[in-house]
Amino acid sequence: MRIAYLDGFSGISGDMFLGALVDAGVPLELFQESVVALDLGITLEASRVIRNGISATKIDVFVNGQKDLPREEFWAHSQESAAGHTHDHGADHVHEHGEDDHDAYGRNLDRILQIIEAAPISKRAKQTAGDIFVALGTAEAKVHNVDLADVHFHEVGAADAIADIVCASVGAEALAVEQILASPLNVGGGTVKCAHGVMPVPAPATLELLRGIPVYSGEVQKELVTPTGAAIVRVLATSFGPRPMMTTEKIGYGAGTRDFARHSNVLRLTLGETHELGGLAASPDEGIPEDEVVVLEANLDDLSPQIIGYVTDCLLAEGALDVFSTAVQMKKSRPGTLVSVLAKPQDEEKLRDLLFRESSTLGIRSRREKRHILSRRHESVPTPWGAVRIKIGSMAGTDSQFAPEYEDCRRIAVEHQVLLKTVMQEALRLYLDKKNG
C-alpha cells in the first residue's frame, strides 16, 4: 500500500506542508495554476533555504504583490505604526490590508465554500478543502461560543489562507497515496499574539482542532502548529503514531518561516510502500496477514437508487474500505436494497452517523469480523499516455494478483480521449511484459 508519512517534530503550518509537497515532487506549477484560478490576486514563490543544516523548500504567498509577514514581525510593525487595520489569519501568516479588501477580513464560511466550489479543481480536492475550512470554523465557533454561520475567519479567512488550504488539498490528491499518516505533533510552547490578544500555545482554536491527536511540547517555546496546519493534518491524516514499517521512495522537507538554533524548523514528508498498515497480523495457520473490520448494514425500501449511489460515494469519500448493495425482498413483498459497508473500527461511528444522516434507514446493524488480506504493493508502468500504477497482491512472497489502478486509467482516458478498457489492457500488458521479460 502506498502511503505518506508526516514527521511533525517541528509542528506544521500551511506553507510548511506545501513546501514538503513540492520538495517531494508535486509540481509547483500545479499550485500556481490553482491559486491564479481563484482570482484573489495570489501568487506563489518557492525557494531553497537552510533550517539548522537541513535544506528545504520554502513557499511564500503574495497577495496583490505583498508578501506576508511572520506574526511577531507584523505585531511589532503594527505597534510602531497605528495606520491601517490588521488581519491575522494564522499562526505564521499575517497580512496588513487597506479598506478596499475588507471582504478578505470578513469572509464567512459560506463565502469561502463558494470560492472553493468555483475553483477549477477536482471534486475530491474541493471536498477536502471544504472539510478543512469546516473544521477550522467549527473550532473557532466553539472557542468563541458563536454559531458556525457567524464565524468570520479573521484568523484564517484571508486570501493566502484559502490558497494554503486549496493547494494542500490539490497537492494531497497529487501524491496518489492511499493513506496519509502522521507522527505526534510538537506544538511548541509559550504565548503568541493574535487578533484577540496574547494567547497560550497552542492557541485555543488550534488545541480544539488537535483533540484526540497526540501532541507534545519540546524545547522550542514558540508556536509551531498553526490553526491552518492543525486543520490540514486533522482532515488529511488517518492516524497518528510512530513511523510504520515502509520502504521509502521520496522525501520532502518544507521550511517554516523561522530559523531556530539547534532545531530544524521543517516538516518532513516521506512517500513509500508499506505491507503492515493498520495493525495487520499474520495468521498463524496460513501465514496471510489479517485485521479486524466493522460491517455496517442497513435495509432500504423507500430510497431512490440515485440517492443510494450518492450515499455510497459519500461513505467511500469518508474512508469506508468498501460499500456494496444487494437486492433483497422485504416484508409485505416489497423490493429493497441491502447496503453493506466495510470499515476500519476507528471509523465506525463516523460512517454510521453518515448513513443515518444521508439515507432513510431507522436502524443499522454492526458487527466485527476478521479479514484475511494479501500483502499489497504498487509498481508504476509507463504507457503511451502517462504512468499507471499496478496494484500487486502477493501470498507467501509470490505475486498472484495484478490490476491497473482504476483512477489512474480513468484520468488518462478522460485527458487523452482513449477508451478506458484500452488504457487498462495496455497498462497490464506492459507490466506483464516487464515482469516476464
Tell me the angle at which helices 14-23 and 159-174 cross, rounded to the nearest 10 degrees: 30
Fold of 289-372: Alpha-Beta Plaits (3.30.70)
Residue that is written with C-alpha cell 471544504 in the block? 130
263 alpha carbon, distance to own chain's centre: 26
What is the DSSP track for 159-219? HHHHHHHHHHHHHHHHT--SEEEEPPEE-B-SEEEETTEEEESSPHHHHHHTTTS-EE--S
Give the phi and the psi of residue 229 in degrees, each rounded to 5.
-60, -40
Q: What is the pLDDT along the chain (437 residues), one digit of tens a residue?
A: 889 999 999 999 999 999 999 999 999 999 999 999 988 888 999 999 999 999 999 999 988 877 765 544 444 444 444 433 333 333 343 333 333 344 444 577 888 899 999 999 999 999 999 999 999 888 988 888 888 877 766 544 467 789 999 999 999 999 999 899 999 999 999 988 876 678 899 999 999 999 889 999 988 999 999 999 999 999 999 888 888 888 899 999 999 999 998 899 999 999 998 864 444 444 444 456 677 899 999 999 889 999 999 999 999 988 899 999 999 998 888 899 999 999 988 889 999 999 999 999 999 999 999 888 777 788 888 999 988 999 888 876 678 889 999 989 999 999 999 999 999 999 999 999 888 87
Q: How many CB atoms lie within 10 A of CB 281?
A: 10
| Buried b or exposed e, range 229-258, using 16+ CB within 10 angstroms | bbbbbbbbbbebeeebebeeeebbbbbbbb
* Domain span(s) for CATH 3.30.70.1380 in the chain: 289-372
CA-atom Rg of the chain in angstroms: 23
* Domain span(s) for CATH 3.10.20 in the chain: 375-436
**Looking only at Cα atoms, what is the longest distance across the chain?**
78
Q: Which residues contact 50 (CB under 8 A, 6 or more apart)?
A: 56, 259
Cα distances (Å, whole numbers) of residue 163 to 46, 228, 252, 257? 14, 11, 20, 17
Q: Which of 371, 425, 435 is nearest to 400 (CA)?
A: 435
Cα distances (Å, whole numbers) of residue 363 to 96, 287, 297, 350? 53, 38, 9, 15
Give the right CATH number for 375-436 from 3.30.40, 3.40.50, 3.30.200, 3.10.20. Answer: 3.10.20
